[in-house]
Structure formats: C-alpha cells, structure tokens
Amino acid sequence: AQSVTQLDSQVPVFEEAPVELRCNYSSSVSVYLFWYVQYPNQGLQLLLKYLSGSTLVKGINGFEAEFNKSQTSFHLRKPSVHISDTAEYFCAVSHFGANAGKSTFGDGTTLTVKP
Amino acid sequence: NAGVTQTPKFQVLKTGQSMTLQCAQDMNHEYMSWYRQDPGMGLRLIHYSVGAGITDQGEVPNGYNVSRSTTEDFPLRLLSAAPSQTSVYFCASRDRGAGELFFGEGSRLTVL
C-alpha cells in the first residue's frame, strides 16, 4: 500500500523568508510525485511534478522540489515567500499499473505567510 | 476550456435523503475520481474509474455509489445521507499517462 506523510501540519513564516514543506512517501512500487496548492474556497491546482529524470523539479510561482529516492522524500521549497503564497499545500503520489486510477494524498500543510 | 465541472456547489440535505453530485470533464480523460476533503485529513479517495463502464472503490466508499456510462461524466450518488458525509467533495480527472489530476471547484455538502 502507498502512503504519504506531510511532516508539518502548519508552517508560519515571515514574508521574504525561505520555506520548506516536507513530504515523505511509502510505496512498494514506483510512483509519480506531485505537489498541489489549494487557495481558500478553491479546488486544487498543480504546483509541480516529478515523473522521471532530474531529481530537482521546478514549478509555478517560484517553487521547486527535490526527489530523494533513498529517503523516499519529496520536499517543497521556495527561497522567498510572498503573502500570496498563503494556502494549503498537498503532496501526492499517483500510481500506475494495476492501481493506475488512484492517487494518494498527504493530510496537507497550511502555509501562512505573515507580513 | 471548461475542464472539470461539478454541480451543485453547495447542498444541504436532511439525514436519510439521497442526492447525486454531478461531474463532467471535457478533456477526454480516461481516469476520473471522487475525493472528500475533511479538515486535517487531506483528500480521501471515494471511488474511481479508469474508463467508461469500469469503476472501483477507493479508501472510503461506504454510503456512495458511482457509475461511468460515458467518458465525460462520473456522478457520485449518496444513497441515504448521514451527518458523517458532511464534507467538501472534489471530482478530478487525468489522462492515462503520467499526467496530473485536474480538479473541479468542489461541492460543499452539509447533512443535518
């Protein structure tokens, strides 16, 4: 079975400071990895994804994430956050093969950027 | 592009009532799924489909039914609503490849 653990439920940070949101996953098979963002009262939208290749992936709004296979982690980073980055962030894995229709999400991390 | 369209956006039910949440996508995606979102619990998979005529259960399927008669539509039926089904429901779709999920805007359901 696959599982996703987001290690921080809430991350408060001051504007222009760097931030890291941590995500670990567990899977017996290969998966694809994603970070989604949810702004208040909206659906989720993709920030970035790792399918294969370079372990450092860049996404929208200046976010990037690094896939670490040995540590089964996919942490999200941004060097300087803005007030507008305040949102909920979800790490997710998508399966393929026999479970191709499924995606598993972490519980989410609420990022609050303070002025 | 409309993407993934969910209706209704808000609904209030009484315990025991039934209803259907509608979901339609116009991207010709093979995979569609329903999630519920509850505070502090992320998104939990209710049911999913890998193509017309094929559905399967997810993590929390009890009390819900789905069908997939066309590629575009994937309705979620609540058979006899219970207060525990108060939640925000999201429909999502993706293509067969390694694509990301595309989400609807959500349907907020309250069961009294």
Predicted local distance difference test score (pLDDT) of residue B111: 97
Q: Are B90 and A44 in contact (CB < 8 Å)? A: yes
Structure tokens at B102: 């595309």
Q: Hey, CA dihedral for B80, B85, B90, B95, is it positive or negative?
A: negative
Q: What is the pLDDT of residues A42-95, one digit of tens each?
A: 889 999 999 888 889 999 999 999 999 899 999 999 999 999 999 999 999 987
CB contact under 8 A, B42 and A44: no
Between the CA of residue B88 and those of A38, A80, B6, B54, B96, what are the distances in Å?
13, 32, 12, 24, 26
Residue A76 CB burial class (10 angstroms; 0-12, 13-18, ≥19): buried
B17-48 pLDDT per residue, tens: 999 999 999 999 999 999 999 988 889 999 99
Interface test with B, best of A4, A5, A9, A103 (most B CBs within 10 A): A103
Preceding amide of A40 cis, omega within 30: no
Which one, of A86, A38, A99, lies nearest residue B88 by Cα? A38
Answer yes or no: do B50 and A101 touch at CB < 8 A.
yes
Q: Which residues of B touch A104 (CB under 8 A)?
A: 45
Q: Can you give the pLDDT at residue A95?
A: 76
In tens, the pLDDT along B65-96 reads 999 999 999 999 999 999 999 999 999 999 88
Give the chain A residue nearest B46 (alpha carbons).
Answer: A102
Distance between start and end Cα atoms, chain B: 36
| Cβ-contact A91, A25 below 8 angstroms | yes
- Are A4 and A92 within 8 A, CB to CB? yes
Task: Give the pLDDT of residue B12.
Answer: 97
- Cα distance from B18 to chain A (closest Cα, Å)? 24
pLDDT above 70 for A40: yes
Grade residue B1 by pLDDT with cuts at 50, 70 and 90: low
Give the whole-number percent of chain A exceeding pLDDT 70: 97
User: Between chains, do A102 and B33 touch, taking CB under 8 Å as contact?
Assistant: yes
Gap between the Cα atoms of B98 and B96, Å rounded: 7
pLDDT at B98 over 70: no
Q: What is the pLDDT of residue B24?
A: 97
Q: How far is B22 from chain A (nearest CA, A)?
A: 16
Between CA A105 and CA A90 the distance in angstroms is 7
Q: Which pLDDT score, from 0 to 100, does residue A98 have? A: 65
| Rounded average pLDDT over A23-28 | 90
- Determine what percent of chain A is predicted with pLDDT higher than 90: 72
Q: Which of A96, A100, A107 lies at the smallest CB-CB distance from B40? A: A107
Residues of A with CB under 8 A from a CB of B: 4, 6, 9, 32, 34, 36, 42-46, 49, 51, 90, 92, 94, 96, 100-108
The burial class, CB within 10 Å (0-12 / 13-18 / 19+), for B84 is exposed
